[in-house]
Chain A
Amino acid sequence: MRDQPTGEALLDTARSVVLDTLLPALPAERRHDALMVANAIAIALRQWRRGSAFERAELGALTALLGLPPADARLEGAALQAALVAANRHCCDALRTGRLATTREAWSVLCQAVRHKVEESNPKALPGGARAR
């Protein structure tokens, strides 16, 4: 059993110190560094909190789209990452060679995967879910 506060809460607290205590006290030329540290912690926390459920969903969607054998739903860690890389590579090859048609179905699978990444890396880039183009 880990004692409180655990890693996630520690990072949350550390980010608050960077933004609320350090940033106002830093000279102007160091402010950007502090903002980058806070941003990096925020990304790491979002990734930690989301876990790997969406990665399993991405793997399932890709294998179905590409007509590959279904992936083991119990994959996790390095094995899940390796399977995802392989499926994404397969998808890239299929698009490049034309074996995968650029259908709405394919577009939707890619959109879903990319949207999850944006939600982790920069959720502000997805305002309100509805986009003006």
Chain B
Amino acid sequence: MNGATLQALARFIAGQAGADRVEVHAAQRLSGGTIQQNWRLQLTIDGGPLHGVTALVVRTDAPSGVATSLGRAQEFALLSAAHEAGVAVPQPLWLCTDATPLGQPFFVMRCLEGTAAGHVLSRDNGWHGDRVQLAERLGSELARIHTIRPPRPDLAFLPACEGAPALQQITRLRGHLDALDEPHPALEWGLCWLERHAPRRADIVLCHGDFRTGNYLVDAQGLTGILDWEFAHWGDALQDIGWFCARCWRFGAVEREAGGIGARDDFYRGYERVAGRPLAREAVRYWEVMAHLSWAVIALQQARRHVSGEEPSLLLALTAHVVPELEHEILMMTEPA
């Protein structure tokens, strides 16, 4: 961000915050994410309710969009709903959909401290906090997210979930594969399995859609906030649980079945405490297979951006080479009797 942009952001924040004066000293691009950009602003706010605040975060778009991710206005609404439900999220402050000051929609939120780096949190020596407590807390937060149920006028942009969420997701994934027009028999095999074993429609809840290690912040004491709401949708709660526990999202710490950071039982316990009912634990495995299918299709879409020349990027190119191990895991989990 250049000086003119920072000044324009300062004026925007001053207007929104009712401050006498705002000065933005620097903007630091935060690491992580190929779909959105997060910028930490170092600033001085004089006057108004946010007097004395020295850091805020601006969230805006990056070029690598994925077909199904939500826009910033919608993500702002989701963050607001989650904050209201008591979920640990950065407090969303202001949304801007004008062409100025950034030329594209953005929102400003409170800055939370911590790391989201999955490869750090999953290593034995990467984080020395209480893993039992972290896994339980993550379960509790997910259960809180799942207390948000349709209908919600503030979330009317989310497509209604008609029928069985699993069958809907299978149809979506087949559509994405057809659009890519390249053959992946292992993924077709997985989709056949998912269709044969699809669960009936259960209670429909707000699913985070990308609840996994890498999308929450942790400091030395534990969880500080849940991030990245652009894949939120109405669906089956077990979809989020399967995504979090899926082997592909354990950052190599495969024995820590809860997100690569802790034990599955601790995560479930935290969830069940807030949900007030036991989880259908035997049903989670289905959604772990679904998680591998979904991530494989997303990875293929990302790789296509590089291969087509739309966005030459070594990161996107290497994303294609994640797909074989996802296909392998799908086959291992769906071995015929």
Q: In the complex, identify which listed stretch (B123-131, B146-154, B188-196, B211-219) lies at the interface while the others stay far away.
A: B188-196
For chain A, the bracket of interface size reads 20 to 34
**Residue with the highest number of chain B CB atoms closer than 10 Å, among A95, A110, A117:** A110
Q: Write out the residue numbers on chain B whose beta carbons fall within 8 Å of the beta carbon of A30.
A: none
CA–CA, A29 and B32, complex, Å: 11
A:4-54 near B, CB below 8 Å:
29, 33, 36-37, 39-40, 43
- A-B pairs under 8 A by CB, number: 84
| CB closest chain-B residue, reference A36 | B314
CB of B328 closer than 8 Å to a CB of A: yes
Given known A33-B314, A102-B193, contact A114–B327 (CB-CB < 8 A):
yes
Given known A107-B189, A107-B331, A118-B324, contact A91–B183 (CB-CB < 8 A):
yes
CB pair B325–A39 under 8 Å, yes or no, is: no
CA–CA, A48 and B31, complex, Å: 33
User: Which residue of B322, B324, B335 contacts A114 across the interface (Cβ within 8 Å)?
Assistant: B324
CB of B321 closer than 8 Å to a CB of A: yes
**Residue with the highest number of chain B CB atoms closer than 10 Å, among A37, A113, A121:** A121
Given known A36-B318, A95-B189, contact A103–B184 (CB-CB < 8 A):
no
Name B's A-contacting residues (CB within 8 A). Answer: 31, 174, 182-186, 188-189, 191-193, 254, 314-315, 317-318, 321-325, 327-328, 331-336
**Given known contacts A114-B324, A121-B324, what 15 new A-B pairs fall within 8 Å (CB)?**
A33-B314, A36-B314, A85-B183, A88-B183, A102-B189, A102-B193, A102-B336, A107-B331, A107-B334, A107-B336, A113-B185, A113-B186, A121-B322, A121-B323, A122-B324
Name A's B-contacting residues (CB within 8 A). Answer: 29, 33, 36-37, 39-40, 43, 85, 88-89, 91-92, 95-96, 102-104, 106-107, 110-111, 113-115, 117-118, 120-122, 125-126, 131-133
